[in-house]
Amino acid sequence: MHIEAVRSYCLSKPFTTESLPFGDDTLVFKAVDKMFLLANLDGPLRISIKALPEDVIDRLENYPEVIPAYHLSKKHWMAVEMENVSDTRRIKSWIDQSYDLIIKSLPKKKKQDLHIPY
């Protein structure tokens, strides 16, 4: 997956915005103003995504392309070196899970205001 594919996939999700809050080299995707994916724009593509703590541990142990996330909570975030990824379906699933964690964590009132069912 290259950056344009990651970008298109993230922007296809409802309530998603993109920005460069940390400088021109880090693209950030947010759902309702909460980060669910960061992507570096310099060098080989690496994305950081949120996951449940047990999933972070499992992926770090079982997928060589997964490394601890840089400058983020190592408990809740992991980084994926995209040049080493062969299964884009798995990465899309992980992105979906990251997005869902953010949406599910929204306050009930915010979900009702946005007509989010879960």
Per-residue pLDDT in tens (0 to 9) along the chain, 118 residues: 899 999 999 999 999 999 999 999 999 999 999 999 999 999 999 999 999 999 999 999 999 999 999 888 899 999 999 997 888 999 999 999 999 999 998 888 888 888 887 7
Structure tokens at 90: 């798995």
Euclidean distance between CA atoms 89 and 27, whole angstroms:
21
Lookup result for tokens 């880090």: 26
Domain ranges of the chain: 3-114
Task: Select from 13, 34, 17, 21 the least CA-distant residue to 95.
Answer: 13
What does the radius of gyration of the chain's CA atoms come to, in whole angstroms? Answer: 14
| pLDDT score of 40 | 95
- 3-114 under CATH 3.10.20.30, yes or no: no
The pLDDT score that the predictor gives to residue 72 is 87
The predicted pLDDT at position 79 comes to 97
The pair phi, psi for residue 54, each rounded to 5°, is -65, -30
